[in-house]
Amino acid sequence: MRKFLASTVAASALALMLGMASARAEDTIDPNAKQGGAITITYKDDVATLDPAIGYDWQNWSMIKSLFDGLMDYEPGTTTLKPDLAESYEISPDGKTFTFKLRHGVKFHNGREMIADDVKYSLDRVTNPKTQSPGAGFFGSIKGYDDVAAGKAETLSGVTVVDPYTVKFELTRPDATFLHVMAINFSHVVPKEEVEKYGADFGKHPVGTGAFKLAEWTLGQRIVFERNADYWHKGLPHLDKITFEIGQEPIVALLRLQKGEIDVPGDGIPPAKFQEVMADPEQKARVVEGGQLHTGYVTMNTTMAPFDNVKVRQAVNMALNKARIIQIINGRAVPANQPLPPSMPGYDKEYKGYPYDVAKAKALLAEAGHPDGFETQLFVMNTDPNPRIAQAIQQDLAAIGIKASIQSLAQANVIAAGGDKAGAPMIWSGGMAWIADFPDPSNFYGPILGCAGAVPGGWNWSWYCNKDLDAKAAEADSIVDPAKAGERDKMWSGIYEKVMEDAPWAPVFNEQRFTMKSARMGGADNLYVDPVHIPINYDNVYVKDVQ
Amino acid sequence: MIAYLGRRLIQSALILLGVSLITFALLYLLPADPVRQIAGRSATPQTVENIRQQLGLDQPFIVQYWHYLTKLLSGDLGRSYIQRSEVTELIVSRLPASLLLMLGAILCELLIGLTMGLVAAVKRGTATDQTLMVASFVGVSAPQFVVGLLLLYVFAVRLGWFPIGGYGTWRHLVLPSLTMGILGAGWYARMMRSSMIDVLRQDYMRTARAKGLTRGAILFRHALPNAILPVIAMIGIDIGIFMGGIVVVESVFGWPGIGQLAWQAIQRVDIPIIMGVTLVSAFAIVLGNLLADIVAPFIDPRIKLR
């Protein structure tokens, strides 16, 4: 796993250095892939919407990616950016102007050609407060965003249609994450006429440029995707049809997979069955494991005594027996020593972090003036396995004299306590932890470790605010030149190492994703645990039993 | 009769109004903020406020409730916060599945419950009676989640007689109906047993026996029709119990009814759906009780409507 991740990071850095100017998309087709066939995938929860401006769920994230396209995308199964609807792009030397050349002849599912006006319309729509998009905030660096967000303008002044195949973005500040923002679902291109035809019900009648078209949607039961024969990316998708069966409990889905009735249980392996599956060689052979852009951590409120003392926070970091905590979730994670997860660019694999050292932790506590420890509270979300994890943390803390009482509450209450400066001394982030929206190191800083998040109702539950680091973060994000991506990632590694010196968090683990597939499914394993096309890259998987 | 009906209808309307007010108030007091759920964690404070304003959630409680009520009276249940679709459309699309499951469950509970009760009454005091009553007790107390998974495992996974969850054919209907029905069957077995014992003690039973009728004729022609009627009248009241059960059973079996819709809405604080499903369920319960009361005098002439 580690090897794969390292090579991904290297490949991504390399690709960035090469400038990614031309369409290399054709290279990514698996030569062994077979054309045709149908598969069945299950999900427990309803698919709320297939509107790219609104959908933000586990189930619909990659469905939307298969129905729609953005200017940018990622190499299948990786975090490497590549142009998608864009054929090429140019970044101005000051990093504030991005010009995209669009691919010719790309057609929406209704047969009309996609042009630059559609790109502009889609962005005006997603940022318009009337759309109520949960992703509107991602476009904050585009000129004119504030006016649109405040309802003072209908259109983003920073987005210009130069000609039908050229669209120009002007930003208020250099933004190294902008290419990622152009790959996120919220920026995907929609046809105006269809949006206006269906109004608020567009999410139930999606029309995009993607590899699949919506063929059927029986509310609460079934969604059927059909291959888009006119898809601009020749050779994709491989499958003719995907049926999503909705409302299936993960345990039931697993039983059906064992009987050969379905191909992929979309919600993965249910925790209660994990050991049973891994103990059975036949089932284990069908398990796919992958990293995800997730970190689970304990926050310590740096404004509350005794956690305002860095030695206390460092002691907590040394007190946690992460290997034992991971056992509680059946080993479905790797120990974490820094905020970034291993599959994220900028992750420093040389960094050792704080060792598990009870004696040293005790000594640090004594130095901080708490030789006998102290009493505190640990907040945790009340769904399994989080209270059990909190108990393990409680025991580890007790070993160095810290008596933490566990406050096990509903998710909304824990979030409320974290957003209150005097609310929670410690929080275990499980169930609410940060999973990155796009694979960029900056995604783990701003709202959860930066000063901007240390506000009432914010997500920086450590209330950690280091103005120097904020300045460094802004500096790193202004390095827009793809050729300097490696330098930028290094800067971010440095920022997170500084964060760890101040120890506002005790990083605990990075959750691994475990899913299964039927024996007939083909394609590289990383398509089934795609870090971006979450959970599955539908466009690139195939079945082996056709023809 | 007309006056009675009129009075009951007004009562029912008041009950529904009360249910709507209480549910609305509870959801209002909920510590979770639906706007944060809609806006997602990457939203800026401005986005959050925009959405709050558009949904009218910045208004005082009484204004919000009044808006909801006036729209409700014109048949508009609003739009789901998360799915963004009309709540009416979502409920209507799922109602047939729930009704079908309810029918299946009623059939199961009557078939199993009445048979068990009848046999237990006839074999009163024997080991059969005791076994059946213990079984009925287990049926009443077993959690539906466990019963459902157990049935799935035995009859679908091991024996392969029925599909593992899903919806579509009569074979899909059997296991969820059985899971729902087992609970009611326990109650019906107990009620049927006591009702039957009651009837068997009556003078006309002695007369029937004195006339020299066969045991079968006595039981099925004279005793059963009399014993079964008060039990049947309970079906209307059952609807309330079903409404609780479908949330669990539909989730276990992937049955696309309103129970599943309600469960998902609760997890996501999708208030318009929670309100809609609660009101539809309350309506069904009120209607069921009303029907049970209206039908009662026809079944048992000793009951009079006042």
Who among B31, B40, B260 is closest to A56 (CB)?
Answer: B40
Tokens found for residue B227? 């014993």
The interface pTM score, or ipTM, of the predicted complex is 0.79
Residue corresponding to tokens 């926050």: A299
**What residues in A contact B38, CB-CB < 8 Å?**
132, 134
Q: List the one residue out of B90, B80, B73 whose CA is nearest residue B37.
A: B80
Are the C-beta atoms of A543 and A85 separated by less than 8 Å?
no
Q: How far apart are CA A418 and CA A434, in angstroms?
A: 14
The reported pLDDT for the residue numbered A457 is 76
A245 at interface of B, judged by CB pairs closer than 8 A: yes
**A425-445: average pLDDT:** 86
Q: How far apart are CA A321 and CA A509, in angstroms?
A: 11
Asked if pLDDT for residue B213 goes beyond 70, the answer is yes
A437 at interface of B, judged by CB pairs closer than 8 A: yes
Q: Specify the pairing of strand A264-265 against strand A38-43.
A: parallel
B131 at interface of A, judged by CB pairs closer than 8 A: no
**B6-27: average pLDDT:** 91
* Nearest CA-CA distance, residue B104 and chain A, Å: 19
Sign of the C-alpha dihedral computed for residues A16, A18, A21 and A22 taken in this order: negative
Instruction: Determine, for residues A149 and B152 on separate chains, whether the beta-carbon distance falls below 8 Å.
Output: no
B58 at interface of A, judged by CB pairs closer than 8 A: no
Tokens found for residue A182? 């152009």
Asked if pLDDT for residue A431 goes beyond 60, the answer is yes
| A249, closest residue in chain B (CA to CA) | B252
| A432, closest residue in chain B (CA to CA) | B41
> pLDDT-based confidence at B210, cuts 50/70/90?
confident
Instruction: Determine, for residues B44 and A140 on separate chains, whether the beta-carbon distance falls below 8 Å.
Output: yes
The reported pLDDT for the residue numbered A21 is 37
**A376-397: average pLDDT:** 93
- CA angle in degrees (0–180, nearest 5) for A238-A247-A215: 40
Instruction: Determine, for residues A249 and B90 on separate chains, whether the beta-carbon distance falls below 8 Å.
Output: no
> 3-state secondary structure string, chain B?
CHHHHHHHHHHHHHHHHHHHHHHHHHHHHCCCCHHHHHHCCCCCHHHHHHHHHHCCCCCCHHHHHHHHHHHHHCCCCCECCCCCCEHHHHHHHHHHHHHHHHHHHHHHHHHHHHHHHHHHHHCCCCHHHHHHHHHHHHHHHCCHHHHHHHHHHHHHHHCCCCCCCCCCCHHHHHHHHHHHHHHHHHHHHHHHHHHHHHHHCCHHHHHHHHCCCCHHHHHHHHHHHHHHHHHHCCHHHHHHHHHHHHHHHHHHHCCCCHHHHHHHHHHCCCHHHHHHHHHHHHHHHHHHHHHHHHHHHHHCCCCCCC
**Total residues belonging to chain B:** 306
How many Å is the maximal CA-CA distance in chain A?
73
A443 at interface of B, judged by CB pairs closer than 8 A: no
Asked if pLDDT for residue A156 goes beyond 80, the answer is yes
* Nearest CA-CA distance, residue A250 and chain B, Å: 10
Are the C-beta atoms of B140 and B186 separated by less than 8 Å?
yes
From the candidates A43, A46, A223, A414, which should be mutated to test the interface with B, based on the most B CB atoms within 10 A?
A: A46
A49 at interface of B, judged by CB pairs closer than 8 A: yes
Strand partners for A68: none
Does residue A47 or residue A9 have the better pLDDT? A47
The reported pLDDT for the residue numbered A13 is 37
**B100-109: average pLDDT:** 91
Who among A129, A149, A459 is closest to B54 (CB)?
Answer: A129
A38 at interface of B, judged by CB pairs closer than 8 A: no
* Nearest CA-CA distance, residue A3 and chain B, Å: 32
Are the C-beta atoms of B88 and B80 separated by less than 8 Å?
no
Sheet holding A159-163, edge to edge: A86-91, A97-102, A166-170, A159-163
**B276-290: average pLDDT:** 89
Q: List the one residue out of A278, A256, A252, A364 whose CA is nearest residue A318.
A: A364
For A312-334, write each residue's pLDDT tens digit.
999 999 999 999 999 998 889 99
Q: How far apart are CA A482 and CA A98, in angstroms?
A: 12
| A247, closest residue in chain B (CA to CA) | B254
**What residues in A contact B153, CB-CB < 8 Å?**
255
**What residues in A contact B97, CB-CB < 8 Å?**
220
B88 at interface of A, judged by CB pairs closer than 8 A: no
Who among B40, B84, B156 is closest to A203 (CB)?
Answer: B84
Cis status of the peptide bond prior to B225, with omega within 30 of 0:
no
> pLDDT-based confidence at A434, cuts 50/70/90?
low
A259 at interface of B, judged by CB pairs closer than 8 A: yes
The reported pLDDT for the residue numbered A189 is 98
**What residues in B contact A413, CB-CB < 8 Å?**
31
**B277-281: average pLDDT:** 91
> pLDDT-based confidence at A19, cuts 50/70/90?
very low
Q: List the one residue out of A161, A210, A160 whose CA is nearest residue A190.
A: A210
Sign of the C-alpha dihedral computed for residues A294, A238, B163 and A285 taken in this order: negative
**What residues in A contact B47, CB-CB < 8 Å?**
129, 134, 136-137, 149
| A246, closest residue in chain B (CA to CA) | B254
B50 at interface of A, judged by CB pairs closer than 8 A: yes
Burial of B141 (0-12, 13-18, 19+ CB in 10 A): exposed
The share of chain A scoring above pLDDT 90, in percent, equals 69
B184 at interface of A, judged by CB pairs closer than 8 A: no
Full set of structural domains in chain B with CATH: 2-73 (no CATH), 96-267 (1.10.3720.10)
* Nearest CA-CA distance, residue A339 and chain B, Å: 18
Give the range among A309-323, B13-27, B240-254 with minimum mean pLDDT: B240-254
B256 at interface of A, judged by CB pairs closer than 8 A: yes
Who among B39, B47, B256 is closest to A221 (CB)?
Answer: B256
Name the range with the highest mean pLDDT among A8-12, A253-257, A361-365, B101-105: A361-365
Asked if pLDDT for residue A469 goes beyond 50, the answer is yes
Q: What is the mean pLDDT of chain B?
A: 85
Tokens found for residue A86? 């864009």
Are the C-beta atoms of A414 and A432 separated by less than 8 Å?
yes
Tokens found for residue A57? 């769920």
The share of chain B scoring above pLDDT 70, in percent, equals 95
Tokens found for residue A244? 């999503």
The reported pLDDT for the residue numbered A11 is 35
Does residue B197 or residue A172 have the better pLDDT? A172
- CA angle in degrees (0–180, nearest 5) for A121-A152-A120: 15
Residues 6 or more apart whose CB falls under 8 angstroms from that of B97 comprise A220, B167, B250, B255, B256, B257
What dihedral angle (degrees, nearest 10) is formed by the CA atoms of B171, B241, B272, A218? 10
**B291-300: average pLDDT:** 76
The share of chain A scoring above pLDDT 70, in percent, equals 94
Are the C-beta atoms of A501 and A468 separated by less than 8 Å?
no
Who among A46, A249, A255 is closest to B157 (CB)?
Answer: A255
**A531-537: average pLDDT:** 89
Q: What are phi and psi of B97, to 5 degrees?
A: -60, -45
**Total residues belonging to chain A:** 547
B269 at interface of A, judged by CB pairs closer than 8 A: yes
Asked if pLDDT for residue A246 goes beyond 80, the answer is yes
The reported pLDDT for the residue numbered A2 is 27
B212 at interface of A, judged by CB pairs closer than 8 A: no
> pLDDT-based confidence at A24, cuts 50/70/90?
very low
Cis status of the peptide bond prior to A237, with omega within 30 of 0:
yes
**B51-71: average pLDDT:** 90
Sign of the C-alpha dihedral computed for residues B54, B57, B63 and B67 taken in this order: positive
B172 at interface of A, judged by CB pairs closer than 8 A: no
Asked if pLDDT for residue A480 goes beyond 50, the answer is yes
Sign of the C-alpha dihedral computed for residues B132, B135, B141 and B144 taken in this order: negative
**Range list of H helices, A75-134:** 116-127
Q: How far apart are CA A316 and CA B122, in angstroms?
A: 70
The reported pLDDT for the residue numbered A29 is 79
* Amino acid found at B58: D
- Count CA within 13 A, CB hemisphere, residue A438: 22
The reported pLDDT for the residue numbered A4 is 27
The reported pLDDT for the residue numbered B305 is 61
Name the helix (H) or strand (E) containing A86. Answer: strand A86-91
For A57-105, write each residue's pLDDT tens digit.
888 999 999 999 999 999 999 888 999 999 999 999 888 999 999 999 9
For B264-274, write each residue's pLDDT tens digit.
888 777 899 99
Q: How far apart are CA A67 and CA A134, in angstroms?
A: 19
How many Å is the maximal CA-CA distance in chain B?
87
Are the C-beta atoms of A461 and A315 separated by less than 8 Å?
no
Give the range among A355-359, B110-114, B301-305 with minimum mean pLDDT: B301-305
Who among B45, B253, B256 is closest to A220 (CB)?
Answer: B256
Instruction: Catalogue the long-range contacts made by A126-132 (C-beta closer than 8 Å, 24 or more residues apart).
Output: A126/A52, A126/A53, A126/A186, A126/A187, A127/A156, A128/A154, A129/B47, A129/B50, A129/B51, A129/B54, A130/B54, A131/A53, A131/A54, A132/A54, A132/B38, A132/B39, A132/B50, A132/B51, A132/B54
Instruction: Determine, for residues B93 and A204 on separate chains, whether the beta-carbon distance falls below 8 Å.
Output: no
Q: How far apart are CA A106 and CA A23, in angstroms?
A: 14
**What residues in A contact B79, CB-CB < 8 Å?**
200
| A42, closest residue in chain B (CA to CA) | B254
B90 at interface of A, judged by CB pairs closer than 8 A: yes
Q: What are phi and psi of A175, to 5 degrees?
A: -135, 105
Query: Got the DSSP string for A512-543?
Result: EEEEE--TTEES-GGGTT-SSS-S--TTT-EE
B95 at interface of A, judged by CB pairs closer than 8 A: no
From the candidates A50, A186, A221, A455, which should be mutated to test the interface with B, based on the most B CB atoms within 10 A?
A: A221
B46 at interface of A, judged by CB pairs closer than 8 A: yes
**A369-389: average pLDDT:** 92
Cis status of the peptide bond prior to A306, with omega within 30 of 0:
yes
**What residues in A contact B36, CB-CB < 8 Å?**
412, 415
Does residue B191 or residue B221 have the better pLDDT? B191
Name the range with the highest mean pLDDT among A248-257, A281-290, B231-240: A281-290
Q: What share of chain A is helix, strand, coil (3-state, %, to 5)?
A: 35, 20, 45
A435 at interface of B, judged by CB pairs closer than 8 A: no
**A392-410: average pLDDT:** 94
**A430-440: average pLDDT:** 80
Residues 6 or more apart whose CB falls under 8 angstroms from that of A522 comprise A30, A32, A33, A34, A541, A542, A543, A544
Residue corresponding to tokens 């990616």: A65
**B206-217: average pLDDT:** 83
* Nearest CA-CA distance, residue A200 and chain B, Å: 7
Who among B42, B94, B251 is closest to A138 (CB)?
Answer: B42
Are the C-beta atoms of B226 and B233 separated by less than 8 Å?
no
Q: What's the Cα-to-Cα distance from A313 to each of A118, A400, A453, rounded to whole Å?
A: 51, 12, 20
Instruction: Determine, for residues A219 and B89 on separate chains, whether the beta-carbon distance falls below 8 Å.
Output: yes
Tokens found for residue A475? 């500096």
